Amino acid sequence: MTARPNRRQILAGAIAAPWLLRPAAGAEPSPEPKPPPKPMLDLHIHLFGIGDGPSGCRLAKTITEGMVFKALVAKLESLLAKLPSRGPRKSLDDAYVLLLADQLQQSGLAKGVILAQDAVYDRNGRADWDRTSFYIPNDYLFKVVGRYPERMIPCVSINPDRADAMEELERCVERGARVLKIHPPTQGVDIADKRHARFFRRCAERKVIVMVHTGHEHSAPVADVGLADPAKLQLPLSQGCTVVACHCGTGWPSDKPDMLPAFLKMLDKHANLWGDTSVLGTVGRVPDVARLLEHKAALARLLHGSDFPFPSQPWAFAPIVSLKGLKELQRVQGLANLLGQDLALKDLLGIGRPCAERAYRLVCGGK
């Protein structure tokens, strides 16, 4: 029987023959393993519903009878038809949730921030349903996100004009909300009103990120376009809030006034201000995107957002991509996943992955 060497003999042999510890002459060293890709997040994904189920959602006829809504529903129906069967779809509200979950899972994103939408409120702080065109309740948001907690993060919506705004804020934070959205031009709220200072101060204390629509709105009725002025962000910023200016104050070339310069000016003044890239992948925003890309300091403060379900239109960006990029643009145009397509388009523009990774860090933490 052959004796087996013990541990001491093995170590002695290695010391006596150091060539055994080196690679053979001419051998290539093993390449360093690549670090895993950093997680990405979409900060601006709409929950959607018409109220044909028990969701409590509302959508006014001024929206549902419009061409934008009909084209959007047709697009969603075409995507729904490609989904594998997951049981009966009792309503459009339910079908949308199934589609959203599937799109997010196939997008390459780690997570998505899902948005609710509060109502318009009267002078007494009561919901004014006659003036509310779009409503997605916070409770419905929590219910949907609770079905997909590994992928979805709730962004509640609280109009600070409501009588119970402070109570609703505390309730939502206790349920896990760490992002909040306000849409001043459609909700008819002036966030610069000093009466709201206490509300925003509490948001800062509770470390709730405040997202605010800025710039021009084209998919819902607007009470006052001036309410979307990025300069109005001064109040929540002064109260210590981390604020995201949705859409960066952009608009179409025909929109007046031009609000992008106001956003850029606010960035220079406030380190706690960010902008998101939601809706920037659409044809009407191409000129403002070109202007934004020229502002190098602003690029470091952008966060990725898609504005799903509103689709990007990659072909519209042909005039501002390089000749080399035209072939890639054609590939992006053919992508079926709307969230992935929007991210790929913005990657081509240089505001994709870095902004999506930055958004993840801001909302979820980490380096």
Range of the domain at 340: 41-364
Q: State the pLDDT at residue 78.
A: 84
206 within domain boundaries: yes
pLDDT at 17: 40
Is 255 within a domain?
yes
Cβ atoms < 10 Å from Cβ of 280: 26
Report pTM.
0.88
Res 12: pLDDT: 40
Please say whether the beta carbons of 274 and 303 come within 8 A.
yes
Taking only Cα atoms into account, the Rg of the chain, rounded to an integer number of angstroms, comes to 25
Residue 4 lies inside a defined structural domain of this protein = no
What pLDDT, on the 0 to 100 scale, is given for residue 348? Answer: 95
| Residue 208, domain member (yes or no) | yes
Looking at residue 282, which CATH number applies to its domain? 3.20.20.140
Look at residue 6 and tell me if it is in a domain: no
In a domain, 271, yes or no: yes
User: What is the Cα–Cα distance from 50 to 352, expressed in whole angstroms?
Assistant: 31
Indicate the number of domains in the chain: 1
Classify burial at 100, counting beta carbons within 10 Å of its beta carbon; exposed 0-12, middle 13-18, buried 19 or more.
buried
**41, β-bridge pairs:** 111
Residue 31 lies in a domain: no
Q: Is residue 93 part of a domain?
A: yes
User: pLDDT tens-digit profile of 128-159?
Assistant: 999 999 999 999 999 999 999 999 999 999 99
pLDDT of residue 75: 84
Q: pLDDT of 108-133, one tens digit each?
A: 999 999 999 999 999 999 999 999 99
Give per-10-residue mean pLDDT for the chain (367 aa): 42 37 50 81 96 92 86 84 67 91 96 98 96 97 97 98 98 98 97 98 98 96 96 98 98 97 97 98 97 94 97 95 85 95 96 98 91
Bond before 257 cis per omega within 30 degrees: yes
Pure H helices in the chain: 7-16, 61-64, 67-80, 92-105, 138-147, 165-174, 184-187, 197-205, 234-238, 260-269, 286-293, 296-299, 323-333, 338-349, 353-364
